Amino acid sequence: MTLPARGFDLLKDVDVRLTVELGRTAMKLKDVLTLGPESVVMLDRLTDELLDVMVNGTLIARGEIVADNGRFALRIVELAGDDASAEAA
C-alpha cells in the first residue's frame, strides 16, 4: 500500500524520540555505583566509527559528530538500508 505524498502531511507533527548512540558497555551494578565526576567508561565503539541514529529505537541512519557555532551537531553520513552507501564502504 502506498500513500499519496500529501498523506504523509498528517504525520509531520507527530513527536518521535531521536537518539544518537555513541556506544555501549556492560557493567555490574556495583561498578555503576562507584562512578563519579572523573570516571571514564570505555564503550564498544572506536572514535572513528559512525554513530547510530535511531527513531523510537529503530536504526534509521549513521552519522558523525561535528561542532557548529560552539554546539555539538550530527552530520548524517548514510541512511539505514541505503544500498549505495553500503556498497561504497
> pLDDT at position 45, please?
92
CA distance 14 to 56: 12
CATH number listed for the domain at residues 15-88: 2.30.330.10
Is the overall model pTM greater than 0.85, yes or no? no
> pLDDT at position 2, please?
64
Domain ranges of the chain: 15-88
| Residue 88: pLDDT over 60 | no
pLDDT 10s digits, 45-77: 998 999 999 999 999 999 999 998 999 999 999
Residue 76's contacts (CB-CB under 8 Å, 6 or more residues apart) are: 53, 61, 62, 63
